[in-house]
């Protein structure tokens, strides 16, 4: 009984350090939860399909798209490498069912590192797009 209590207490204690998972673009200094604009549900995917995500830049300096972390079997097309101030850029996420080994439901994140210069210093931010669906 004592051991059980100890385990429960230990679990409660460690869970207090748990991190809140937020899919965010920390572009403007804040952490935001998953936004509709950063999320897309492909539904049932039986053939190659794609979705265009929009990255908006309301900064006063241009944003550059740097590195991208792509999940296995998915594709990323960079339409706009540099996004001018007060304009939008596009990134296309492609799903290739034949490339994906594990069929069924999926939920994946595509992490894009963006960069801009502020006061002579380079500032990097993660932009995370989340996609879900079902591979048939």
Partner 1 sequence: MKKILLISALLLSSFLTFSQITISDSQLFGSTRNLAVGVDFGQLTNTVIEKEYIISNPTKTDMVITNVDIPEGFGVVIPQKTIKAGTFVKIKVLAYKDYIKDENTDLMKTLLVTTEYYTYEGKVSTIQVINLKFVK
* CB nearer partner 1, residue 7 or residue 82: 82
Size of the site for partner 1 (CB under 8 A): 23
Question: Does the footprint of partner 1 cover residue 69 (CB under 8 A)?
Answer: yes
Q: What is the token pair recorded at 62?
A: 């241009």
- In this structure, what token pair is assigned to residue 92? 């296309």
Q: Considering the complex, what minimum distance in angstroms separates the CB of residue 89 from partner 1?
A: 10
Please answer whether residues 114 and 65 qualify as being in contact, where contact means their C-beta atoms are separated by less than 8 angstroms.
Answer: yes
Per rule CB under 8 A, is residue 52 in the interface with partner 1? no
Query: Which tokens hold the place of 70?
Result: 């792509």
Cβ atoms within 10 Å of 103's Cβ, excluding its own: 11
Residue among 34, 73, 128, 130 that touches partner 1 (CB under 8 A)? 73
Note whether 43 and 27 are within 8 A (CB): no
Q: What minimum distance in Å lies between the beta carbon of 118 and partner 1? A: 21
CB of 48 to partner 1, least distance (A): 10
Look-up: residue for tokens 């509709």?
36
Residue 117, helix vs strand vs coil: strand
Q: If binding is defined by CB under 8 A, does position 81 make contact with partner 1?
A: yes
- Within positions 86 to 115, which residues make up the interface with partner 1, using CB under 8 A? 92, 94, 96, 99, 113
Q: HSE of 122 in the Cβ direction (CA atoms, 13 Å)?
A: 7
Contact positions vs partner 1 (CB under 8 A): 65-82, 92, 94, 96, 99, 113
């Amino acid at each position: 009984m004592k051991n059980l209590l100890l385990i429960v207490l230990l679990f409660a204690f460690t869970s207090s350090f748990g991190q809140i998972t937020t899919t965010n673009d920390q572009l403007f200094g804040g952490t935001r939860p998953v936004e509709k604009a950063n999320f897309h549900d492909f539904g049932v995917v039986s053939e190659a399909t794609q979705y265009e995500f929009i990255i908006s830049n309301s900064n006063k300096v241009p944003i550059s798209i740097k590195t991208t972390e792509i999940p296995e079997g998915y594709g990323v097309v960079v339409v706009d490498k540099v996004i001018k101030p007060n304009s939008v850029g596009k990134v296309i996420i492609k799903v290739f069912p034949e490339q994906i080994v594990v069929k069924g439901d999926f939920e994946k994140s595509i992490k894009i590192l963006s960069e801009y210069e502020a006061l002579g210093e380079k500032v990097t931010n993660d932009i995370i797009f989340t996609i879900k669906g079902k591979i048939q």
